[in-house]
Chain A
Amino acid sequence: MELRIGWLYPTLMSTYGDRGNVICLQQRCQWREITATVVPLDRQAEADLFKNVDIIVGGGAQDRQQEIVMRDLQGAKAENFRQRIEAGIPGVFTCGSPQLLGKYYEPALGQRIEGLGLLDLETKHPGINASRCIGNVVFELTASPLAEELREMLGKTPIALGFENHGGRTYLGNVSPLGKVIKGYGNNGEDGWEGAFYRHAIATYSHGPLLPKNPFLADWLIQTALKEKYQTPISLTKLDDSLALQARQAMFNRLELSSLVKNP
């Protein structure tokens, strides 16, 4: 079996260790002897490359870099990207990249950046002197059918753990939130929702990076990608995730989330 992991603009959009998500997916494939190739979807990349990737990963960018990305992600590239997401290939978009999938982003300095409009969400930065939403974040995954599938995989309520650090505040329109905040700010620090979920695309402010400490999400992405590609349900061999569990336990303990400490 083989998977091609498309990485959106690795040189422009990789501000907060987002590369960890790519490393995590690739290693968890290779440890299971599934060949995983990373395909950089950079400015030099041909639009056709988007057509044969099986998973798409996107990270965060600084405002200026995000502008450069949006100028490049137009025409055939944008269209192919949109088609892949609509066709149901899984994706994980952290920090800045959800803004780019949304309708627009208004940065602290400079012009409004138009997004792809794939997700019905808007993001505004309240100004250069406004405080950023920073800290460890914990949320329950509630989006359907993701939450049900994860519950079946794990045999318990799926809880994600990460770190958020964003100036922009995101407001959802007609799109399902990814989860419900237990600790932290989430999309805007007001409505209690975190991220968004559309088709098989996960959008979230939570980095840390997201996947290494939530390995069930990485496995869900791999499993979904294989199922979409080979059109048959595939079950993955279990991996030893004791280190990730210890890392989760240590953080739950610090955040005084006692029920999660017992069952990280």
Chain B
Amino acid sequence: MQILDRLRLGLAVATAKLVTAIVKGLKLGAASVLPGEISRRLHPRLLPLLFEQVNKGVILIVGTNGKTTTSLLLRTILENQEQKVTHNATGANLINGLITALLADTNLIGRLTTDYAILEVDENVLPLVLKDCTPQYILGLNLFRDQLDRYGEVDTISYRWQQAINPLPQESKIILNADDPTLAYLGQNLSQNVVYFGLNEPELYLETIPHAVDSIYCPSCGHLLDYKGVYLSHLGDYTCPSCDFSKPKLMLNSSDWGQILIGVYNKYNTLAAGVLSLEIGVKQAAINETIRSFKAAFGRAEELTVQGKHIRILLSKNPVGMNETIRAVNTLKKQGKSSTSLILLNDRTPDGTDVSWIWDVDTETLVKSGGTIIVSGDRTYDMALRLKYSQDSLGDAGSPVNLVIEENLSKALQTALDGTPSHETLHILPTYSAMLEVRKLLTGRQIL
């Protein structure tokens, strides 16, 4: 680094740190984005200069669902190996969020001391990040429809990833979910070394393919794929009857592995972090140890106790995610462990401004399993309407579920807490910004 570059970097870093101190000092927020924005204006090559200094390697994690949980598990595994890890832990996964995370571990003259940088990267931002960074590992979790208002379509995203990854050096290792045909096809079209994780446990197959499915057609020839079984959305065991495309060989046997938290989606997150850790050279026994003692990231199957009531927050921000959380809640409902759910639908930028996705969710199964559903959020009535149309009869009389509509979030939350018996769990299903809001109400403070 040249001396002038070093000075300018120092200035940018010092300013960012001052901004962080002010924002946090005045309790204006979590300071997870603004410092990055300001310092990047002061030094446009800030990101590559920070990336260069990461000691052992940069790990980028991309995918629609599971980035935060997977990153957190991977981080914990590495930290248990005495590695120093930098991570954008607040889920701020656009460029400014990445810079802010790296800056947090940088000293006042711009020197970054860390072994690994684990960075959750937004689907659409990956090509931009790869212009500035040569990662050691890229972990691709899945591609579902999510916030199409911002990103366009699954195929376009996968195509952009391919264009962005191919110029990277051969040493960069790509780890992909074999059960997702779009990612498997991406892997075939990369020149780098690709390793696959996935499930090989037919006992976990869903009985029917859910409606919210994106990619059941062969990405290579367009023929309908032949599924032996589906684990979740379009993730499963598939072959193309018309060309030679099929699920790639897995580098591990999934039934040998335990999992963190609840739900099949967390089994995928576990395998993803596990495979990457093995690639880095962590021993399997050490990985298993961390899996056993793992605790949730905020809002992702996170559990809290407030006013003597047990609560589980299940972030539900797209059809696949929400179908999976409903699957988990219904299992607990049937066991008599839960009867009350609070659904929070917001439509701010981090949630996606288009709420039409709720019609791709199989809410019918949540209504059928009975109990009380309380609805709130910016789009309270849209969600209420979806649930109304999930009932066989229009009137309240014949409905299996008690539907409560309350625009005011604090009141909705209090109603939900009051309605939850003390031996049961209240399940909160919020979109992203609603999760931050409700968490703030529950804990009386902001995240981090």
The residues of A with any CB-CB pair to B shorter than 8 Å are 10-12, 14-20, 23-24, 27, 30-31, 43, 62-65, 67-68, 108-109, 128, 132, 134-136, 163, 165, 167, 207-209, 212-213, 239-240, 243-244, 246-247, 250
One of B39-47, B134-142, B144-152, B169-177 at the interface? B144-152
Among B159, B358, B380, the residue within 8 A (CB) of A17 is B358
Q: How far is the CA of A63 from the CA of B381 in the complex (A)?
A: 32
Q: Can you show 11 pairs from A to B with CB atoms below 8 A apart?
A: A14-B360, A17-B357, A23-B389, A24-B389, A62-B154, A134-B353, A163-B354, A163-B356, A165-B148, A243-B385, A250-B381
Please indicate the chain B residues that have their CB under 8 angstroms from the CB of A128 in the complex. 156
Q: Is B217 an interface residue (CB 8 A)?
A: yes
Shortest C-beta distance, A251 to chain B (Å), equals: 9
Shortest C-beta distance, A14 to chain B (Å), equals: 7
Q: How far is the CA of A68 from the CA of B155 in the complex (A)?
A: 14
Shortest C-beta distance, B433 to chain A (Å), equals: 16
Please indicate the chain A residues that have their CB under 8 angstroms from the CB of B152 in the complex. 132, 167
Given contacts A14-B211, A17-B359, A128-B156, contact A246 B381 (CB under 8 A): yes
* Beyond A19-B360, A163-B149, A243-B384, 4 additional pairs, beta carbon < 8 A: A12-B217, A207-B356, A244-B381, A250-B380
Q: How far is the CA of A54 from the CA of B351 in the complex (A)?
A: 37
Q: How far is the CA of A207 from the CA of B353 in the complex (A)?
A: 13
Please indicate the chain B residues that have their CB under 8 angstroms from the CB of A68 in the complex. 217, 222
- Give the residue among A23, A31, A167, A243 with the most B Cβ atoms within 10 A: A243
The residues of B with any CB-CB pair to A shorter than 8 Å are 145, 148-149, 152-156, 159, 211, 213, 216-217, 222, 224, 353-360, 379-382, 384-386, 388-389, 392-395, 405
Q: How far is the CA of A167 from the CA of B354 in the complex (A)?
A: 15
Shortest C-beta distance, A98 to chain B (Å), equals: 17
Please indicate the chain A residues that have their CB under 8 angstroms from the CB of B358 in the complex. 17
Please indicate the chain B residues that have their CB under 8 angstroms from the CB of A62 in the complex. 153-156
With CB as the reference atom, state the residue of chain A lying closest to B403.
A243
Among B216, B380, B389, the residue within 8 A (CB) of A27 is B389
Please indicate the chain A residues that have their CB under 8 angstroms from the CB of B384 in the complex. 243, 246-247
Q: How far is the CA of A30 from the CA of B152 in the complex (A)?
A: 35
With CB as the reference atom, state the residue of chain A lying closest to B213.
A11
With CB as the reference atom, state the residue of chain A lying closest to B217.
A68
Q: How far is the CA of A130 from the CA of B155 in the complex (A)?
A: 17
Please indicate the chain A residues that have their CB under 8 angstroms from the CB of B394 in the complex. 27, 31, 239-240
Please indicate the chain B residues that have their CB under 8 angstroms from the CB of A132 in the complex. 149, 152
Q: How far is the CA of A64 from the CA of B155 in the complex (A)?
A: 8
